[in-house]
């Protein structure tokens, strides 16, 4: 498998990739968009930082692409929707550069408060302007933090150590959780009105784009100083320029911009604004950390199927992987069984039962059931990433439930497919030693291997039926590997017959014509 690294990588990450057996790595020097477009079709994975944009066009022309890695937190330079539609994972490295970004924010706040860049430039020009650069202490100043994720929390911790009063606003954090950090959680309007310094630490989403605009800037405390070391586009830069010009905003420190580099931005002409060229994650330690993290994640996924920090798929922690692995196999085979015997499907119901499954992430299992279901149905490529999207496109309703107990098993997955004409359900379990078993079909209880070529035969419980099945298959040179039988009090029975080779259509048709047989379906698992 081949990995393309577009924006360079710290040697620690390159070493991990190059040491992985079966993986080849290419590191072109700052390739442009057209060069990447020409190269990408030959690669299974691509790793970028913030410079390279992975667009829908690039993804569409990369048939081998399995995973896109972002050596950093933000993925706004990657078309995640297009990647999901094509079945490519998008991974990032949250937290690997959090300390660097938080410390850069603190450094910018101190530089802004004490006019350090302006004073430095003044001295370079031969002046000694002590009175001109009167500063502000941070002691007992109020810092407002919008976004209390990993980076925002570290900023809060550092600010509290300098005896600042810290306010926080984050719709995904409850006040009690903020209080544990030592932060007073307040509504956004209150944070704007009370903050002497205001810093942004949110992702770029439809809700946060230009969260600081003319309306919200007008509600800030007069003289407020604003910092953005998170994402370009969180601030309406034209509005910020106007509020800096009229003095309502006392100063700004910007590491990120709507357009990078910010060519011809009027902000560059203002003396009360300081800048850095997107340096938040640019520490030696952070670059080593993100390179190590993304390289390890890419190797684990390409070679072992372990998924971590995927933004378009639920992650599986390494400590969970060995335990969930047989359930992933079970989930795919149950889905595949349904896909081969139950069409068209209107609703898919998945039930997880037992103590084992209470401890494991269930979303990967759900994705796997869906993949197994759609694989036999669709001609297009189906994988764990695009399976839910394809299910939705086919307007199949999905319902998942969990139960704490399963009779006789520590983990059971039941899958029911509902069509306009009938319902078909199948359940399976993982036994000790990671053996996978089919334990129930509709009302029939049994225990059968869930693999290989199988005939699923429903019949009336009459003497001679089993002999008929054996004779018919034998006459067509089809050998039976094993057979599992079950019956109900309603004089009906079911047989799961494992075959050494596929039964020809004429053998199946002969069985279907017999009056004792209700249905015959051949499935490959």
SS3 label, residue 89: strand
Residue 405: DSSP 8-state? -
**CATH fourth-level superfamily of 452-525:** ACT domain (3.30.70.260)
Q: Choose, from 231, 333, 484, 498, the residue flagged as catalytic.
A: 231
- Residue 489 has a pLDDT of 74
Residue with tokens 């049994």: 446
On the question of a common fold for 98-275 and 315-448, the answer reads no
Cα–Cα distance, 201 to 182 (Å, whole number): 17
Return per-residue pLDDT of the chain as tens, 525 residues: 999 999 999 999 999 999 999 999 999 998 999 999 999 999 999 999 988 999 999 999 999 999 999 998 878 899 998 999 888 999 999 888 899 999 999 999 999 999 999 999 999 999 999 889 999 999 999 999 999 988 999 999 999 999 999 999 998 888 998 999 999 999 999 999 999 999 999 988 778 999 999 999 999 999 999 999 999 999 999 999 999 999 999 999 999 999 999 999 999 999 999 999 999 988 999 999 999 999 999 999 999 888 888 988 887 877 788 889 899 999 999 999 999 998 789 999 999 999 889 888 999 999 999 999 998 888 667 878 888 888 988 889 999 999 988 777 889 999 999 988 889 999 999 987 678 999 999 989 999 999 999 999 999 999 999 999 999 999 999 999 999 999 887 789 999 999 999 999 999 999 999 999 999 999 999
Residue with tokens 């596929």: 502
- Determine phi and psi for 137, rounding to 5 degrees: -75, 150
Q: Where are any strands of DSSP class E within 191-232?
A: 197-200, 224-228
**CATH fourth-level superfamily of 2-96+285-304:** NAD(P)-binding Rossmann-like Domain (3.40.50.720)
> Which of 3.30.70.120, 3.30.1330.90, 3.10.620.30, 3.30.70.260 is the CATH number of 315-448?
3.30.1330.90
Known catalytic membership, residue 393: no
Rg (CA), the chain: 30
Cα–Cα distance, 182 to 116 (Å, whole number): 29
- Residue 235 has a pLDDT of 97
Residue 182: DSSP 8-state? T
Q: Tokens for 387?
A: 């399976």
Known catalytic membership, residue 231: yes
H helices, E strands: number in the chain: 18, 22
Sequence ranges of the domains in the chain = 2-96+285-304, 98-275, 315-448, 452-525
CATH of domain 98-275: 3.40.50.720
Cα–Cα distance, 420 to 139 (Å, whole number): 69
pTM above 0.75, yes or no: no
Q: Choose, from 158, 278, 292, 437, the residue flagged as catalytic.
A: 278
Q: Choose, from 60, 260, 405, 435, the residue flagged as catalytic.
A: 260
Beta-carbon count within 10 A of 209 CB: 17
Known catalytic membership, residue 421: no
Cα–Cα distance, 290 to 59 (Å, whole number): 23
């Amino acid at each position: 498998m081949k990995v393309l690294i577009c924006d360079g990588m710290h040697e620690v990450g390159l070493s991990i990739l190059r040491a992985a057996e079966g993986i080849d790595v290419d590191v072109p020097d700052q390739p442009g968009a057209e060069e990447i477009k020409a190269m990408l079709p030959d690669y299974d994975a691509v790793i970028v930082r913030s410079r390279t944009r992975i667009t829908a066009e690039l993804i569409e022309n990369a048939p081998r692409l399995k995973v896109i890695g972002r050596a950093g937190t933000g993925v706004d330079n990657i078309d995640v929707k297009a990647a999901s539609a094509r079945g490519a994972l998008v991974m990032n490295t949250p937290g690997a550069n959090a300390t660097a970004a938080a410390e850069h924010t603190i450094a910018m706040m101190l530089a802004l408060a004490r006019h350090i860049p302006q004073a430095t430039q003044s001295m370079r020009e031969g002046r000694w302007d002590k009175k001109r650069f009167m500063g502000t202490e941070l002691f007992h100043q109020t810092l407002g933090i919008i976004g209390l994720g990993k980076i925002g929390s570290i900023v809060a911790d550092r600010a509290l150590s300098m005896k600042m009063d810290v306010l926080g606003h984050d719709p995904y954090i409850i006040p009690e959780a903020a209080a544990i950090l030592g932060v007073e959680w307040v509504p956004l309007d209150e944070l704007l009105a009370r903050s002497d310094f205001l810093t942004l630490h949110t992702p770029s989403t439809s809700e946060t784009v230009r969260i600081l605009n003319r309306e919200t800037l007008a509600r800030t405390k007069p003289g407020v100083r604003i910092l953005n070391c998170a994402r370009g586009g969180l601030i309406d830069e034209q509005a910020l320029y106007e509020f800096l010009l009229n003095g309502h905003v006392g100063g700004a420190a910007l590491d990120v911009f709507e357009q990078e580099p910010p060519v011809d931005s009027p902000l560059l002409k203002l003396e009360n604004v300081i800048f850095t060229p997107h340096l938040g994650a640019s520490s030696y330690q952070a670059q080593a950390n993100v390179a190590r993290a993304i390289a390890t994640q890419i190797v684990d996924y390409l070679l072992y199927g372990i998924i971590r920090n995927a933004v378009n798929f639920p992650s599986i922690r390494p400590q969970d992987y060995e335990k969930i692995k047989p359930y992933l196999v079970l989930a795919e085979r149950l889905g595949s069984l349904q896909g081969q015997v139950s069409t068209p499907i209107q609703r898919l119901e998945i039930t997880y039962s037992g103590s084992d499954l209470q401890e494991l992430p269930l979303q990967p299992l759900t994705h796997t059931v869906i993949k197994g279901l759609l694989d036999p149905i669709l001609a297009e490529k189906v994988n764990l990433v695009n399976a839910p999207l394809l299910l939705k496109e086919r307007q199949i309703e999905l319902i998942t439930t969990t139960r704490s107990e399963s009779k006789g098993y520590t983990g059971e997955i039941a899958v029911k497919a509902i069509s306009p004409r009938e319902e078909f359900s199948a359940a399976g379990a993982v036994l000790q030693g990671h053996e996978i078993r089919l334990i129930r079909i509709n009302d029939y209880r049994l225990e059968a291997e869930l693999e290989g070529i199988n005939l699923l035969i429903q019949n009336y419980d009459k003497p001679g039926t089993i002999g008929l099945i054996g004779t018919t298959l034998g006459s067509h040179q089809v050998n039976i590997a094993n057979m599992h039988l079950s019956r109900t009090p309603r004089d009906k029975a079911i047989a799961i017959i494992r075959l050494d080779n596929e039964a020809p259509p004429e053998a199946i048709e002969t069985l279907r014509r017999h009056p004792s047989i209700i249905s015959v379906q051949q499935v490959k698992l």
